[in-house]
Amino acid sequence: MALADQIEPLKQAALADMAAAADLAALEQTKGKWVGPQGQFTGLMKQLGALPREERPAAGKLINAVKGELETALAARRAELELQAALPKEPTDFTLPGRRRTLGKLHPLTQVTDDIVRSFRKIGFVVADGPEIEDDYHCFDALNTPADHPARDTHDTFYLQDQSHSEPETRNSQLLLRTHTSSVQIRVMEKQPPPVRIIVPGRVYRRDNADATHNPTFHQIEGLYVDKGVTAGDLKGTVEFVFRELMGADVKIRFRPHYFSYTEPSFEIDFTSALVKKLGKDWLEIAGCGMVHPAVFETVGYDPEVWTGWAFGFGIERIAMLRYGINDIRLFYENDLRFLRQF
Ligand code: DAH
């Protein structure tokens, strides 16, 4: 039989063989049988040399075309068989319960902070931030608390040994870990003209020994509102609104006269609720606040004859402890999952 006449039946047989290969191993054998070095198709190509010279080009072209077809068919069948091999042998039971993925959670202090921030944002406050490594100008002096002021004694401050400080505008370069978020009041007012309406959640540091109610690092939220004609009534209404949002509609607050160097008059905020009563208390002290002292405005270049304002600061741990009935502040920092999972 002429070479050309042998090609078509060989091709058909090869294609049928490939289609019949039941798995990848069988397909490999089929491949060897037809197009491998000893394969039938390869054998056909070897006969090419025996053809008369003028018939060779046409026959060679034909053989190459068929070889291409066979390779394409081989690859297609291989893909089919690979897919088949990858599918599960047993049918999937879609009625089985799924595997639950363990999701992380936010730390209770973060949750409380987020809630407080959300409440203040509703009434137009924005979040501001400042450095935890502060200088004593922003932490004390600018807040009307000079070095010899007795109020500094109540803040047991961590001072940093390295006193080099790169900020050019800093008048006093003693570096420390901020003892309160009030320093950010100064940082913000230095940078922007009034009006100001900010809250500042952040970490603060004090040289306290850890016990059930103290920890050397804890968190505060500072608030500052500066505008024309701001009153202590605005302050009280704002604090009341936020605490009701946080702790429930039955919350009552009261202001007691107090002293802070950066506010005048100054108050301590007490609050009560069914929860507080359950703890056997009438009132709980929760925050400090007051009307911004004119000396502070002068320091940052705001005209105290034009601008008025109030500020407050409270501890986030304190609120979280009340809210969740936690009796030891240290639990927040131990990262014990048995504790954290409860919130
Ligand atoms: N900085 C005070 C503290 O750490 C809290 C405070 C009191 C903040 C009165 C204020 C304020 O902004 O006006 O105890």
What is the model's pLDDT at position 274? 87
Q: Is 260 in the pocket of ligand 1 (CB under 6 A)?
A: yes
Residue 94 domain-assigned (yes or no)? no
Secondary structure (3-state) at 335:
coil
Report pLDDT digits (tens) over 42-80: 887 788 888 888 888 888 888 888 888 888 999 999 999
What is the model's pLDDT at position 45? 78
Instruction: Say if strands 133-135 and 126-127 run parallel, antiparallel, or are unpaired.
Output: unpaired
Alpha-carbon distance of 42 to 53, in angstroms, equals: 20
Q: Is 313 in the pocket of ligand 1 (CB under 6 A)?
A: yes
**Nearest protein CA to atom 10 of ligand 1, as residue:** 312
Burial 35-49 (b: 16+ CB within 10 A, else e): beeebebeebbeeee
Name which of 199, 200, 149, 193 is nearest 178 in CA terms: 200
Atom of ligand 1 nearest to the CA of 314: 5
Residue 116 domain-assigned (yes or no)? yes
Tally the domains of the chain: 2
72 plus 133 within the same structural domain: no
Alpha-carbon distance of 157 to 133, in angstroms, equals: 12
118 plus 247 within the same structural domain: yes
Domain boundary (27, 56, 86) is at 86
Q: Is 289 in the pocket of ligand 1 (CB under 6 A)?
A: yes
Q: Is 221 in the pocket of ligand 1 (CB under 6 A)?
A: no
Alpha-carbon distance of 223 to 288, in angstroms, equals: 10
Residue 273 domain-assigned (yes or no)? yes
Centroid of ligand 1 to alpha carbon of 239 (angstroms): 14
Q: How is residue 209 written in tokens? A: 């020994």
What is the model's pLDDT at position 225? 98
> What amino acid is encoded at 18 in this protein?
M
Q: State which residues form the domain around 229.
A: 108-340
Centroid of ligand 1 to alpha carbon of 238 (angstroms): 16
**Nearest protein CA to atom 4 of ligand 1, as residue:** 180
Region of 19 on the Ramachandran plot (φ > 0 left; ψ -120 to 50 alpha; else beta): alpha
Which residue from 224, 235, 260 has its CB within 8 A of the most atoms of ligand 1, so it is best to mutate?
A: 260
Centroid of ligand 1 to alpha carbon of 183 (angstroms): 10
Centroid of ligand 1 to alpha carbon of 221 (angstroms): 9
Centroid of ligand 1 to alpha carbon of 215 (angstroms): 18
Q: Give the position of tokens 């291989």.
A: 78
What is the model's pLDDT at position 148? 80
Checking 240-243 for CB contacts under 8 A at 24+ apart, the result is 241/119, 241/123, 242/116, 242/119, 242/120, 243/271, 243/286
131 plus 208 within the same structural domain: yes
Atom of ligand 1 nearest to the CA of 260: 9
CB 180 within 8 A of CB 311: no
Domain boundary (25, 52, 86) is at 86
Alpha-carbon distance of 196 to 238, in angstroms, equals: 15
**Nearest protein CA to atom 12 of ligand 1, as residue:** 312
Residue 97 domain-assigned (yes or no)? no
Angle between helices 24-35 and 3-20 (to 10 degrees): 170
pTM assigned to the model: 0.70
47 plus 165 within the same structural domain: no
- Where the chain has pLDDT below 70, the residues are 1, 151, 153-155, 162-172
Q: How is residue 224 written in tokens? A: 């500052």
Atom of ligand 1 nearest to the CA of 181: 1
**Nearest protein CA to atom 2 of ligand 1, as residue:** 313
153 plus 223 within the same structural domain: yes
DSSP string across 229-280: T--HHHHHHHHHHHHHHHH-TT-EEEEEEEEETTEEEEEEEEEE-HHHHHTT
Strand partners, 197: 225
Domain boundary (86, 119, 152) is at 86
Q: How is residue 11 written in tokens? A: 């091709």
Centroid of ligand 1 to alpha carbon of 202 (angstroms): 13
Secondary structure (3-state) at 306:
coil
